[in-house]
Amino acid sequence: MADGYIVLIQILNGVQYGLLLFLVASGLTLIFGIMGIINLAHGSFYMMGAYLAFSLTELVGNFWLAIVLGIPLSVAIGLALELLLFRRLYRRDHLYQVLLTYGLILIMEEVRSLLVGDDVHGIAVPALFEFSIRLTDTLSYPAYRLVMSAICLVMAGLMALVIQRTRLGMTIRAGANNREMVELLGIDVGLVYRIVFAAGVALAAFAGMIAAPVASVYPGMGNQILIVSFVVVVIGGIGSIKGAFLGSLLIGLADTFGQVLAPQISGMTVYMLMAAVLLWRPAGLFGRV
């Protein structure tokens, strides 16, 4: 029976990691699908979120309040970056997008180092959820991880609602499908770009914030999640939210079970999965060739 619970714990961990990845990867895939921009700095927004959560919690003394303050701050930073840098990239070759966003990673990493320093920090799990759910005499599962998964699911649901049911969502879907046509129809594409970019930044930052209590806050934390998010986007198909969702869960579970079943090569599991998907469907599960 204990074995069943161990598997259950791994599944919960995998799903939780996958849902967290989805928050980052969905922004990445939308920014690419709609704005045509490959954003290497997306992982840095995740890092920024985690550090915002850390600094603001220190400042105001409450984790939830820190998140409430951190989100508008992230949106503002996203809008400022769009205005200053990304706006100039829409018509440029991918090569320059890669280069500029790579430069942005270096800048954000050093600004972080100047402002907060290079130490590893931890954030206490919010008191409300600082308990574990007992499964057997020896096994238990931390409640906060379940809360994280629930929050991510709510966010995913909200996103689906906005994209499927609102006028803005319609424009976004149309934009991902055929950008030129949307422009020709007289829709203010610039406004849509700004909204999508700021939302993507905020989602990644939010993921960093809620992950901070379990993942701790450390330099370079954005790069790891960026590359895994790339794998998610490649597996799911660029521009596809549905693909990003399925890809995230797949990667989350593959990574978690890889660590248990094949610890020697656990770092490579997700990439092998990607290679397999590429052999089978080069444009990803939901991508168009």
Give the binding site for other proteins (CB under 8 A): 32, 38, 40, 85, 88, 91-96, 98-100, 102-107, 109-111, 113-114, 223, 227, 230-231, 233-234, 238, 264-268, 271-272, 274-275, 278-279, 282-284
Nearest-5° angle of CA 131, CA 137, CA 143? 20
Please, which residue, 104 or 254, has the CB nearer to other proteins?
104
In angstroms, the CA 145 to CA 129 distance is 9
Q: Which residues pair with 134 in a beta bridge?
A: 140
Please, which residue, 57 or 269, has the CB nearer to other proteins?
269
Smallest gap from residue 109 Cβ to other proteins (A): 7
**What's the DSSP call for residue 92?**
S
Smallest gap from residue 135 Cβ to other proteins (A): 30
Smallest gap from residue 73 Cβ to other proteins (A): 21
In angstroms, the CA 4 to CA 34 distance is 43
Give me the helices (H) in the chain, please.
2-35, 42-60, 63-84, 94-116, 143-165, 167-177, 179-184, 189-215, 221-236, 241-261, 269-280
Smallest gap from residue 233 Cβ to other proteins (A): 7
Please, which residue, 156 or 270, has the CB nearer to other proteins?
270
Please, which residue, 108 or 212, has the CB nearer to other proteins?
108
Distance in Å from the first CA to the final CA of the chain:
46
Please, which residue, 150 or 272, has the CB nearer to other proteins?
272
Smallest gap from residue 114 Cβ to other proteins (A): 6
Q: What is the phi/psi pair of residue 201, to 5°?
A: -60, -45
Q: What is the phi/psi pair of residue 121, to 5°?
A: -120, 155
